[in-house]
């Protein structure tokens, strides 16, 4: 019973920390907030925001949080992005390495924090994500408040036999596993 209580407490803390229940790999001291004016603004509806992630991950979802309409000075959130694309890059200088993860619509009448699951799975690990806004909800500027990137981080777990002999010339086996334990693992030899 104690283990269950501790697990529940841990999950509640994770949710309260970021309100998604998922680690945010795009965080910069938890990124911008969702208070009026705490945003990155640009003219028009089309723009790009390229983010270097804290580690290489398999992206499973992104989330966007805009200023709640209740906190907006004019009672509208026309500056919120409406239609946007999310891209994954292997190399920012090589456009051929990018892959579309999804084409999404932020609902200005929905919750301020919305989660979008990738529509196109990229099985390559990445640490570069690009948010491309296509339109907003009718303003001459677009304001980006909080964009999060969620996924499975690679963990390297040495698989060393207890009977290891210093004179052994066999390569070390390393097992790769992902943080959410979704049956994604492989074994590779390190030399």
The dihedral formed by the CA atoms of 89, 94, 95 and 100, expressed in degrees to the nearest 10: -20
Per-residue confidence band for 26, with pLDDT thresholds at 50, 70 and 90: low
Query: Under a CB-based contact definition with an 8 Å cutoff, are residues 138 and 74 in contact?
Result: no
Q: Whole-model pTM?
A: 0.68
Q: Give the whole-angstrom CA distance, residue 94 versus residue 96.
A: 5
Q: Residue 27 above 60 pLDDT?
A: no
What are the chain's domains?
Answer: 21-153 (2.60.120.260)
**18 φ, ψ to 5°?**
-135, 0
pLDDT, one tens digit per residue, over 106-152 is 999 999 999 999 999 888 899 999 999 999 999 999 999 989 999 98
């Amino acid at each position: 019973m104690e283990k269950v209580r501790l697990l529940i407490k841990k999950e509640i803390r994770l949710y309260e920390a970021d309100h998604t229940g998922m680690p945010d790999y795009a965080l910069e001291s938890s990124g911008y907030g969702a208070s009026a004016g705490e945003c990155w603004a640009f003219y028009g509806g089309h723009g790009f925001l390229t983010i270097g992630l804290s580690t290489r991950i398999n992206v499973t979802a992104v989330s966007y949080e805009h200023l709640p309409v209740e906190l907006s000075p004019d009672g509208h959130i026309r500056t919120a992005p409406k239609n946007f694309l999310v891209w994954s890059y292997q190399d920012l200088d090589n456009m051929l390495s990018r892959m579309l993860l999804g084409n999404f619509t932020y609902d200005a009448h929905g919750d301020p924090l919305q989660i979008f699951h990738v529509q196109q799975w990229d099985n390559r690990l990445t640490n570069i994500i690009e948010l491309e806004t296509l339109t907003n909800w009718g303003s001459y500027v677009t304001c980006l408040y909080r964009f999060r990137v969620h996924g499975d981080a690679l963990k390297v777990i040495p698989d060393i036999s207890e009977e290891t002999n210093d004179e052994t010339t066999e390569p070390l086996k390393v097992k790769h596993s992902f943080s959410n334990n979704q049956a994604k693992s492989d074994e590779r030899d390190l030399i």
